Structure 1
Amino acid sequence: MRPSPILRAGGGDAPLGKFNKYLGGWGNLGGLPQKGILTYGVSPNRQNPFAGAAHDAVFNTWRRFSAQVFYWAPAAVAGYYIMNWAIERNHYLNSKQGRLEFGGEEEE
Protein backbone atom coordinates (compact mmCIF):
# COMPACT_ATOMS: atom_id res chain seq x y z
CA MET A 1 0.00 0.00 0.00
CA ARG A 2 1.21 3.46 -0.90
CA PRO A 3 1.24 6.24 1.74
CA SER A 4 -1.09 9.15 1.18
CA PRO A 5 0.28 12.67 0.55
CA ILE A 6 -0.60 13.59 4.16
CA LEU A 7 1.61 10.81 5.50
CA ARG A 8 4.42 11.77 3.12
CA ALA A 9 4.33 15.40 4.29
CA GLY A 10 4.79 14.24 7.87
CA GLY A 11 8.45 13.35 7.43
CA GLY A 12 10.44 10.17 7.11
CA ASP A 13 8.20 7.87 9.13
CA ALA A 14 5.76 6.78 6.43
CA PRO A 15 6.54 3.25 5.26
CA LEU A 16 7.39 2.91 1.60
CA GLY A 17 8.95 0.26 -0.53
CA LYS A 18 11.61 -2.24 0.39
CA PHE A 19 13.21 -0.37 3.32
CA ASN A 20 9.95 0.99 4.80
CA LYS A 21 11.19 4.61 4.80
CA TYR A 22 10.12 7.58 2.73
CA LEU A 23 13.10 9.78 1.91
CA GLY A 24 11.14 12.87 0.97
CA GLY A 25 10.98 14.92 -2.23
CA TRP A 26 13.82 16.63 -4.03
CA GLY A 27 15.63 19.01 -1.69
CA ASN A 28 14.18 17.39 1.45
CA LEU A 29 15.78 13.96 1.32
CA GLY A 30 15.65 12.29 4.71
CA GLY A 31 12.90 14.24 6.40
CA LEU A 32 11.49 17.66 6.98
CA PRO A 33 13.65 20.64 6.00
CA GLN A 34 15.52 22.15 8.92
CA LYS A 35 14.69 25.69 9.89
CA GLY A 36 16.55 28.23 11.99
CA ILE A 37 20.04 26.97 11.19
CA LEU A 38 22.26 29.73 9.79
CA THR A 39 25.73 29.21 8.47
CA TYR A 40 28.16 31.95 7.55
CA GLY A 41 31.37 31.76 5.61
CA VAL A 42 34.05 34.15 4.52
CA SER A 43 35.33 34.03 0.97
CA PRO A 44 39.07 33.37 0.60
CA ASN A 45 39.29 36.67 -1.32
CA ARG A 46 37.90 38.52 1.69
CA GLN A 47 40.28 36.84 4.13
CA ASN A 48 43.52 37.84 2.40
CA PRO A 49 43.04 39.17 -1.13
CA PHE A 50 46.76 39.59 -1.91
CA ALA A 51 47.99 36.32 -0.44
CA GLY A 52 50.82 35.11 -2.67
CA ALA A 53 50.35 37.91 -5.20
CA ALA A 54 54.05 38.85 -5.35
CA HIS A 55 55.15 35.22 -5.56
CA ASP A 56 52.60 34.43 -8.27
CA ALA A 57 53.49 37.61 -10.18
CA VAL A 58 57.17 36.63 -10.38
CA PHE A 59 56.62 33.03 -11.42
CA ASN A 60 53.66 33.73 -13.71
CA THR A 61 55.66 36.46 -15.45
CA TRP A 62 58.61 34.10 -15.90
CA ARG A 63 56.34 31.33 -17.26
CA ARG A 64 54.73 33.67 -19.79
CA PHE A 65 58.07 35.24 -20.79
CA SER A 66 59.80 31.88 -21.29
CA ALA A 67 56.90 30.64 -23.42
CA GLN A 68 57.11 33.65 -25.79
CA VAL A 69 60.81 34.55 -25.89
CA PHE A 70 61.68 32.27 -28.82
CA TYR A 71 59.09 34.02 -30.99
CA TRP A 72 60.43 37.58 -30.70
CA ALA A 73 64.05 37.27 -29.47
CA PRO A 74 65.60 36.08 -32.79
CA ALA A 75 63.97 38.96 -34.67
CA ALA A 76 65.10 41.45 -32.03
CA VAL A 77 68.71 40.18 -32.10
CA ALA A 78 68.80 40.19 -35.91
CA GLY A 79 67.33 43.70 -36.00
CA TYR A 80 69.91 44.93 -33.48
CA TYR A 81 72.85 43.57 -35.50
CA ILE A 82 71.49 44.87 -38.82
CA MET A 83 70.91 48.33 -37.33
CA ASN A 84 74.36 48.33 -35.73
CA TRP A 85 75.94 47.39 -39.08
CA ALA A 86 73.98 50.13 -40.87
CA ILE A 87 75.03 52.80 -38.34
CA GLU A 88 78.70 51.79 -38.54
CA ARG A 89 78.54 51.71 -42.36
CA ASN A 90 76.98 55.20 -42.41
CA HIS A 91 79.69 56.56 -40.12
CA TYR A 92 82.39 55.04 -42.31
CA LEU A 93 80.91 56.34 -45.55
CA ASN A 94 80.67 59.85 -44.09
CA SER A 95 84.19 59.76 -42.70
CA LYS A 96 87.32 61.01 -44.47
CA GLN A 97 88.46 57.46 -45.34
CA GLY A 98 85.04 56.49 -46.73
CA ARG A 99 84.82 59.58 -48.92
CA LEU A 100 88.31 58.94 -50.27
CA GLU A 101 87.60 55.25 -50.93
CA PHE A 102 84.18 55.56 -52.57
CA GLY A 103 84.13 59.18 -53.69
CA GLY A 104 80.70 59.62 -55.23
CA GLU A 105 79.93 55.99 -56.19
CA GLU A 106 77.25 55.19 -53.55
CA GLU A 107 74.81 58.03 -54.11
CA GLU A 108 71.67 56.24 -55.23
Structure 2
Amino acid sequence: MATRQCTPATMPSQLEGAMDTLIRVFHNYSGKEGDKYKLNKGELKDLLQNELEHFLASQKDPSLVDNIMKDLDSNRDNEVDFNEFVILVAALTVACNEFFQETLKKKAKAK
Protein backbone atom coordinates (compact mmCIF):
# COMPACT_ATOMS: atom_id res chain seq x y z
CA MET A 1 0.00 0.00 0.00
CA ALA A 2 1.49 3.32 -1.01
CA THR A 3 1.94 5.83 1.76
CA ARG A 4 0.82 9.37 1.24
CA GLN A 5 1.75 12.63 2.85
CA CYS A 6 -0.80 13.49 5.52
CA THR A 7 -1.92 17.07 5.48
CA PRO A 8 -5.24 18.29 6.87
CA ALA A 9 -6.75 17.92 3.40
CA THR A 10 -5.39 14.38 2.90
CA MET A 11 -5.67 12.95 6.41
CA PRO A 12 -7.16 9.49 6.22
CA SER A 13 -10.62 9.01 7.64
CA GLN A 14 -11.00 6.83 10.72
CA LEU A 15 -12.11 3.92 8.55
CA GLU A 16 -9.22 4.38 6.12
CA GLY A 17 -6.85 4.45 9.09
CA ALA A 18 -8.40 1.29 10.50
CA MET A 19 -8.04 -0.48 7.14
CA ASP A 20 -4.43 0.63 6.87
CA THR A 21 -3.74 -0.62 10.40
CA LEU A 22 -5.36 -3.98 9.66
CA ILE A 23 -3.18 -4.45 6.58
CA ARG A 24 -0.02 -3.39 8.41
CA VAL A 25 -0.68 -5.64 11.41
CA PHE A 26 -1.21 -8.65 9.15
CA HIS A 27 2.00 -8.02 7.24
CA ASN A 28 4.00 -7.37 10.42
CA TYR A 29 3.42 -11.02 11.29
CA SER A 30 3.15 -12.72 7.89
CA GLY A 31 6.15 -14.05 6.07
CA LYS A 32 8.56 -14.33 8.96
CA GLU A 33 8.64 -17.97 7.93
CA GLY A 34 7.63 -19.22 4.49
CA ASP A 35 5.16 -17.31 2.32
CA LYS A 36 5.38 -13.59 3.09
CA TYR A 37 1.70 -13.07 2.26
CA LYS A 38 0.36 -15.73 4.64
CA LEU A 39 0.43 -16.57 8.32
CA ASN A 40 1.55 -20.02 9.35
CA LYS A 41 0.37 -21.41 12.69
CA GLY A 42 3.26 -19.88 14.65
CA GLU A 43 2.80 -16.46 13.06
CA LEU A 44 -0.95 -16.59 13.70
CA LYS A 45 -0.30 -17.51 17.34
CA ASP A 46 2.11 -14.58 17.73
CA LEU A 47 -0.41 -12.20 16.15
CA LEU A 48 -3.25 -13.42 18.36
CA GLN A 49 -1.16 -13.25 21.54
CA ASN A 50 0.27 -9.80 20.81
CA GLU A 51 -2.62 -8.06 19.07
CA LEU A 52 -5.68 -9.66 20.66
CA GLU A 53 -4.41 -10.41 24.14
CA HIS A 54 -7.42 -8.81 25.87
CA PHE A 55 -9.88 -10.80 23.78
CA LEU A 56 -8.02 -14.03 24.45
CA ALA A 57 -7.24 -13.44 28.13
CA SER A 58 -10.27 -15.40 29.30
CA GLN A 59 -9.56 -18.30 26.94
CA LYS A 60 -7.75 -21.16 28.66
CA ASP A 61 -8.17 -23.72 25.87
CA PRO A 62 -4.70 -24.92 24.80
CA SER A 63 -6.07 -25.85 21.37
CA LEU A 64 -7.48 -22.36 20.74
CA VAL A 65 -4.92 -21.44 18.05
CA ASP A 66 -5.38 -24.83 16.37
CA ASN A 67 -9.14 -24.34 16.32
CA ILE A 68 -8.90 -20.79 14.98
CA MET A 69 -6.43 -21.92 12.31
CA LYS A 70 -8.72 -24.78 11.29
CA ASP A 71 -11.74 -22.48 11.11
CA LEU A 72 -9.96 -19.74 9.14
CA ASP A 73 -7.98 -21.91 6.72
CA SER A 74 -10.80 -22.32 4.21
CA ASN A 75 -8.54 -23.59 1.41
CA ARG A 76 -6.77 -26.05 3.76
CA ASP A 77 -3.21 -25.01 2.89
CA ASN A 78 -2.21 -24.80 6.60
CA GLU A 79 -1.75 -21.05 6.31
CA VAL A 80 -4.03 -18.05 6.76
CA ASP A 81 -4.02 -15.50 3.94
CA PHE A 82 -5.23 -11.92 4.32
CA ASN A 83 -8.76 -12.72 3.14
CA GLU A 84 -9.06 -15.49 5.71
CA PHE A 85 -7.61 -13.21 8.41
CA VAL A 86 -10.18 -10.50 7.67
CA ILE A 87 -12.92 -13.04 8.39
CA LEU A 88 -11.53 -13.45 11.92
CA VAL A 89 -11.36 -9.70 12.48
CA ALA A 90 -14.89 -9.24 11.12
CA ALA A 91 -16.30 -12.01 13.33
CA LEU A 92 -14.62 -10.58 16.43
CA THR A 93 -15.85 -7.09 15.54
CA VAL A 94 -19.43 -8.34 15.18
CA ALA A 95 -19.18 -10.13 18.52
CA CYS A 96 -17.85 -6.98 20.19
CA ASN A 97 -20.63 -4.90 18.68
CA GLU A 98 -23.25 -7.36 19.95
CA PHE A 99 -21.70 -7.24 23.44
CA PHE A 100 -21.68 -3.43 23.30
CA GLN A 101 -25.36 -3.34 22.29
CA GLU A 102 -26.35 -5.77 25.06
CA THR A 103 -24.43 -3.70 27.61
CA LEU A 104 -26.26 -0.54 26.50
CA LYS A 105 -29.64 -2.31 26.73
CA LYS A 106 -28.89 -3.51 30.25
CA LYS A 107 -27.84 -0.02 31.33
CA ALA A 108 -31.02 1.46 29.85
CA LYS A 109 -33.20 -1.07 31.70
CA ALA A 110 -31.40 -0.37 34.97
CA LYS A 111 -32.34 3.32 34.85
Question: TM-score, normalised to structure 1's length?
Answer: 0.25
From the two aligned structures, give the one with the greater helix fraction: 2
Please identify the structure whose Cα radius of gyration is greater. 1
Greater RCO (Cα-Cα under 8 Å, separation 6 or more): 2
